[in-house]
Amino acid sequence: MTATTAAPVSWARLLGAELRWVLRRPRTWVMLALLAAVPVVMALGIVLSDRPRRSLLSEVTGNGLSLPVAALSILLTLLLPLAVAVAAGDAIAGEDQQGTLRGLLLAPVGRLRLVVMKAFGVYVVAGLAVAVVTVSAVVAGWVMIGPPVVLATAGDGGALVTMSGTTLSLADAATRIALVAGWTAVQLVAVGTVALAISSFTEHPVVVLSSVLGGVILFGVLTAIPALAPLHPWLITTGWDAAADVLRDPLPYGGLVRSSLVAGGYLAVGAAMLVVRMQRRDA
């Protein structure tokens, strides 16, 4: 009598199970709610202030569609990496701490498929975080701040005044916002992959959280030291100020492309570490 081998679990079932697990966690929705509230608070502060000091936020005054760019740029420095770090810590280290990771490692799904499943969950959180911030900022900017007064009264179809002083149509403004949202998602995917790699080496989610946030802060400090200028191009945080480039006309793609390539390098290294660790990890 021949033994029957169990049929492999389908990708749809695996990814669906991970998606349900991610979306059922209360902390996921708490983080998304907090991220959605930040652009609203920013818009309220701009409305109540007479004239913000010269900064990226000053470009939002009377120019509501600039708020998504400002919100994503500011949140990328800490809160957005925090969201993906929490998700990555729960994905592997959290399950190891709860004792459920052993069952997943012994299940006939394959460890590489398990890695893909866990990465999918983290990437979903990254995408949701960017989408929530973008939508919240667009709505808050348009409702509370509105388009530039001159453009609104002139009725010439202009929707966004760039930092170069030119005017973009509503379609062009939407394209710029989508571009910065996609670019931000790429940066978060890289951070999330590195966080997953760290998560595979520990059973304590707080270690993942402290490592990612500590790394972001450390990179920021290193970027501020002129003597370490040769090191700056290799730090993922160095290019995070490129988000403001979408508010220039013509749009300079250099900073966005360079920072995306650096993020791709971190993603590749993190993915390699994650796969090797999970393949060699004892159940």
What is the C-alpha to C-alpha distance for residues 71 and 131, in angstroms, rounded to an integer? Answer: 12
More confident call, 208 vs 12 = 208
Give the residue carrying structure tokens 């290799």: 234
Buried b (16+ CB within 10 A) or exposed e, 170-186: eebbbebbebbbebbbb
238 pLDDT higher than 90: yes
Q: Provide the pLDDT confidence category of residue 108 given band limits of 50, 70 and 90.
A: low
What is the DSSP secondary-structure string of 114-179? HHHHHHHHHHHHHHHHHHHHHHHHHHHIIIII-S-HHHHHHTSSEEEE-TTS-EEEHHHHHHHHHH
- What are the angstrom distances between the C-alpha of 192 and each of 47, 77, 116, 126, 186? 34, 14, 13, 8, 10
Q: What is the mean pLDDT of residues 115-129?
A: 95
What pLDDT is attached to residue 277? 92
What is the C-alpha to C-alpha distance for residues 47 and 13, in angstroms, rounded to an integer? Answer: 47
User: 169-213 pLDDT, tens per residue?
Assistant: 888 889 999 999 999 999 999 999 999 999 999 999 999 999 999
Residues 269, 262: contact at Cβ < 8 Å? no
Percent of the chain residues topping a pLDDT of 90: 60
What pLDDT is attached to residue 107? 67
What pLDDT is attached to residue 51? 57
More confident call, 24 vs 60 = 24
